[in-house]
Structure 1
Amino acid sequence: NDVSRQGCLSLDVIEQAEVEVERLNILKASKMKELVFKRQNELEEIYRGVHMDVDSDAARQILSSLIDSGNVNLSDLLSSMDDQIIKAKEQALSRKDILDKVEKCIFAFEEEKWLDEYEKDENRYSAGRGAHKNLKRAEKARILSGKIPSIIETLTAKVKAWEIEKEIPFLYDKVPLKHTLEEYTAQRQEREEEKRKSREQKRLQEQHNAEQEALFGSRPSTKKPLGQSTNANTMVGTPISRRTPLGHHGVSAGKERRESGRVHNLTPVNYVALPKDDSVSRRN
């Protein structure tokens, strides 16, 4: 046994070969496993790109179990993954038109929400930084907001046609898109009704304030202006002459008093009476 025949492999060489084959098989399985999960990543990227439902954790767990069991041919598994990728790309292409309109719809929703917040800002017209840009954005948002009903209607019609053709619901992030559109439409109608009620309430309040102002603001003031007589026949600061019971006699009496005053005023104020001369008195 110690001597090997010429042209035969020794047991050591055979054992080394077996070890090497096993190592290569393990390496091959590892590489194939990497390729399988690489295909799975590619498949998931396609699904996520078109908002399709995919359970990544469950799919990876199934693949790991199949590979570790050794009961599956990795080449066949890899070929199956390639077929799934081709099918996913076809599904993504069929969803592209609808998804493009979904993006426009989402943008319109976001702009409408921004517009609602903008209109609640009492300082939106102030000359602050960026006010001009916000004003332009608000104008565009109002136009876009008015188109939302028609955008939703068009999108809903396309979703229904797709579901009839594929005979499956159109899912968007695991939720039926048609249901999402119907729910948003109902919520939007509720918001519009709330806005209408708010505007009506504001209008009624302004009307009430105007009526109160007209009612109390037009009432004449009880205070009399300065210099105005209570008599309606008198001018401000200039009374109108009236006949007195004295008649002309009253006027004459006043005139006589004035003339009498003039007579008394003929005597000088500094007049001093001189004493009579004694000689003159004695002659008399």
Structure 2
Amino acid sequence: MSVVKNGPLGQAETTCGSLLNELQIIWDEVGESDTDRDKMLYELEQECLEVYRRKVDKANRNRAQLRQAIADSEAELAAICSSMGERPVHIRQADQSTGSLKAELGTILPQLEEMRKRKVDRRNQFLQVLEEIQHISNEINEIADGASVDESDLSLRKLEELHRKLHALQTEKNDRLKQVQEALDTINSFCVVLGMEFEQTVAEIHPQFGSADVLKRISNESIKCLATAIHRLREVKLQRMQKLQDLATAMLELWNLMDTPIEEQQAFQNVTCNIAAAEHEITEPNTLSMDFLNFVATEVSRLEELKVSKMRELVLKKRAELDEVCKKTHMVPEANVAIDCAIEAIESGQVDPGSLLEQIEFQVANVKEEAFSRKEILDKVEKWKAACEEESWLEEYNRDDNRYNAGRGTHLILKRAEKARTLVTKIPGMVEVLASKTMAWEKERSIEFLYDGVSSMFLLFYI
């Protein structure tokens, strides 16, 4: 009984049977023996087995490849989940009850592809953050290391950690930008006061600062250079401040000394108003520029020359006063020669006229004090000298033989002669009193009483 079989296998059996029947007919017609027929059937069976074996082997390899692909996909999926810090995706293994290997692989691949896309997106996020971190780090530390992503850890926790690091660097960058801006503002304020060109000064600090993107220079070296420049400019400002204040002090002293009119002082009020100013209080443009300091120094030099001229006049006036006092009190000023030399030194600029004037004023004060103590003796000397002159006149009068001849004014001459005789009788007493006063004066002061440079006692005995 023949059975009709459907499907590829049934059709194959029908075809093989038909071909075998056809082969039997051919063998019968040819007259093949049973042995040959058995041999050829055996070979045919072996060839069929070989074809089946190859097909089975190929099917086994295909099954193994599917299982390996599933295992690799599951491993990759697990690795991606692990690197991204997510829970692993569980795929139920294929069996007779759940479905084929191809179905299982078809279930895994879409999920794997989705995770791969998510991994690429996550990696790009890491790269973006790392590049920003590297860029800011390069600006701050000037280190040119490339940004790299650790594929083994792409978790959100790690990404958040990098975001925090980036935020910290951005904060530090902003702080450094603010610090650089404040430093540049400080340098600019110094330049304004000192009369310097800001751009040139900044370019001299560091070659980097000569470019337009000076604010982007926020490295440690750049900030250190700015700090050094600020310190140097502050030192320059302090030095020039001291010079300006010294000039202002000298200017005020000269104004007071020479009674300079207020109108002339007004032109330099911006100088004298800073005589006691602190460093942070001097902010006016060009207040400490070299041109302005030289201008003030020139004015002080002019006042100094004017002072020397006026002081020379005062010295000469004081010397004349000293000479007049000494002349009236019959004293010889010991410093006359020294004063003459000092005046020549003033004219040549070798001696400070102020100190010389003080010396002369001191001498004048001493001479006036001594003159007061000599007044009583000098009065007696003058009376004594007057008496001596009358005595000399009386002697000449007594030698005149015509003294009694009558004539115009004879009575006046006779009257003077009578007074002279009376005065001459008092000379010994005058000499005695004068000698006593002089010795008392010399004893009190332990110096010799000189009259026009000569001892008064010598004059008394000499005359």
TM range (shorter): 0.5 to 0.7
Return the offset for 1:83. Answer: 2.1
CA distance in 1, matches of 2:401, 2:356: 63
CA distance in 2, matches of 1:22, 1:73: 14
Which residue, 40, 60, 64 being the options, matches 2:339? 60
Return the offset for 1:79. Answer: 2.6
Aligned residue runs from structure 1 range 196-275, under 5 A: none
CA distance in 2, matches of 1:111, 1:173: 22
Q: 1:124 corresponds to which letter in structure 2?
A: R
Distance 1:72 1:57, change over 3 A: closer
- Higher helix proportion (structure 1 or 2): 2
CA distance in 1, matches of 2:362, 2:340: 20
Residue 105 of structure 1 is matched in structure 2 by 384
Aligned residue runs from structure 1 range 7-22, under 5 A: 7-8=285-286, 18-22=297-301
Q: RMSD of the alignment, in Å? A: 2.7
Q: Does the 8 A contact of 2:391 with 2:424 survive in 1?
A: yes
CA distance in 2, matches of 1:113, 1:36: 42
Residue 459 of structure 2 is matched in structure 1 by 180
Aligned residue runs from structure 1 range 62-77, under 5 A: 62-68=341-347, 70=349, 72-77=351-356
Residue by residue over 1:1-48, the C-alpha shift from the partner in whole angstroms, topping out at 9 and shown as x without a partner, is xxx969449987776655444332211111112112222221221111
Q: 1:44 corresponds to which letter in structure 2?
A: D
Residue by residue over 1:189-226, the C-alpha shift from the partner in whole angstroms, topping out at 9 and shown as x without a partner, is xxxxxxxxxxxxxxxxxxxxxxxxxxxxxxxxxxxxxx
Tell me the TM-score normalised to structure 1 length. 0.57
Q: Does the 8 A contact of 1:37 with 1:60 survive in 2?
A: no
Residue 261 of structure 1 is matched in structure 2 by none
Residue 307 of structure 2 is matched in structure 1 by 28
Q: 2:399 corresponds to which letter in structure 1?
A: K
Q: 2:360 corresponds to which letter in structure 1?
A: M
State yes or no: 1:81 paired with 2:356. Answer: no
Residue 199 of structure 1 is matched in structure 2 by none
CA distance in 2, matches of 1:18, 1:82: 30
For the residue of structure 2 that corresponds to 1:128, the secondary structure is: coil
Q: Does the 8 A contact of 1:44 with 1:56 survive in 2?
A: no
Residue by residue over 1:120-179, the C-alpha shift from the partner in whole angstroms, topping out at 9 and shown as x without a partner, is 111111111111100111111111111111111111111111111111111101110001
Q: Does the 8 A contact of 2:442 with 2:448 survive in 1?
A: yes
Distance 1:23 1:129, change over 3 A: same
Q: 1:81 corresponds to which letter in structure 2?
A: I
Residue by residue over 1:88-140, the C-alpha shift from the partner in whole angstroms, topping out at 9 and shown as x without a partner, is 11100110000000111011111111111111111111111111100111111
For the residue of structure 2 that corresponds to 1:29, the secondary structure is: helix
Q: Does the 8 A contact of 2:308 with 2:353 survive in 1?
A: yes
Q: 1:178 corresponds to which letter in structure 2?
A: M
CA distance in 2, matches of 1:104, 1:50: 14
Residue 449 of structure 2 is matched in structure 1 by 170
CA distance in 1, matches of 2:324, 2:422: 36
Aligned residue runs from structure 1 range 102-181, under 5 A: 102-181=381-460
Highest Rg: 1 or 2? 2
Residue 329 of structure 2 is matched in structure 1 by 50
Q: Does the 8 A contact of 2:322 with 2:333 survive in 1?
A: no
State yes or no: 1:91 paired with 2:370. Answer: yes
CA distance in 2, matches of 1:15, 1:150: 73
Tell me the TM-score normalised to structure 2 length. 0.36
Distance 1:168 1:157, change over 3 A: same
Matched residue count:
182
CA distance in 2, matches of 1:161, 1:18: 58
Higher relative contact order (CA 8 A, sep 6+): 1
